[in-house]
Copies of this chain bind each other. A is one copy, B any other.
Amino acid sequence: MTEQKKTTIVLFSGDYDKAMAAYIIANGAAAYDHEVTIFHTFWGLNALRKDEPIQSKKGFLEKMFGKMMPRGADKMGLSQMNFAGMGPKMIKHVMKKHQAMPLPELIDLAIEQDIKLIACTMTMDLLGLSQKELLEDVDYGGVAAYLGEAQDGQVNLFI
């Protein structure tokens, strides 16, 4: 009767600190043998972007979104005390000092731990993001894929 526990997180936010919280909870849950899924939608997709610019055909607005949004986890801002980019530098500095894992390493660890990373195809369309702009280990799906995971889970969070 030791049923498999499940943690499913919607990562909507594109903030470094919120994404960190999401990945810390996800990695913790995986370490406790939960089956874990992070469903990335809207600005949360930026955590999955590769950090180099990728050529891809886009409409004008999609190109603007693509340029203005951070390319990958390391370039995201803070939800509070961002101070035009100083905040993330400060946080990363204290994280290093206290040996906390930076977000890109937390994402790598998640992939190692077989956490399912899903990118929301509907919002990829809206923001003009193509699959070749995102990390290799990403799955693709919509709200049905999310609900399929979430409805049998114990820990469901929207971050």
**A residues whose Cβ falls under 8 Å from a Cβ of B:** 5, 7, 10, 12-14, 17-18, 21, 24-25, 28-29, 32, 34, 41-43, 59, 61-62, 64-65, 68-69, 79-81, 90-91, 93-95, 97-98, 100, 122, 125-128, 142-144, 146-147, 150-159
Contacts and interface: CB of A to CB of B under 8 A. Distances in A.
Contact of A147 (B25, B65, B151): B25
Given A17-B42, A24-B143, A151 B94 contact: no
A5 B151 contact: yes
Given A28-B142, A156-B156, 18 more contacts: A10-B25, A13-B79, A14-B80, A21-B42, A21-B158, A25-B146, A28-B146, A28-B147, A29-B151, A43-B79, A59-B94, A61-B90, A61-B94, A100-B125, A147-B155, A153-B155, A156-B157, A157-B158
Contacts of A126: 91, 94-95, 98, 100
B80 A98 contact: no
A72 to B, nearest CB: 16
Contacts of A94: 59, 61-62, 65, 125-128
B62 A41 contact: no
Contacts of A157: 10, 156-158
A64 B81 CA distance: 11
A151 B155 contact: yes
Contacts of A143: 24-25, 28
A80 B41 CA distance: 13
A80 to B, nearest CB: 5
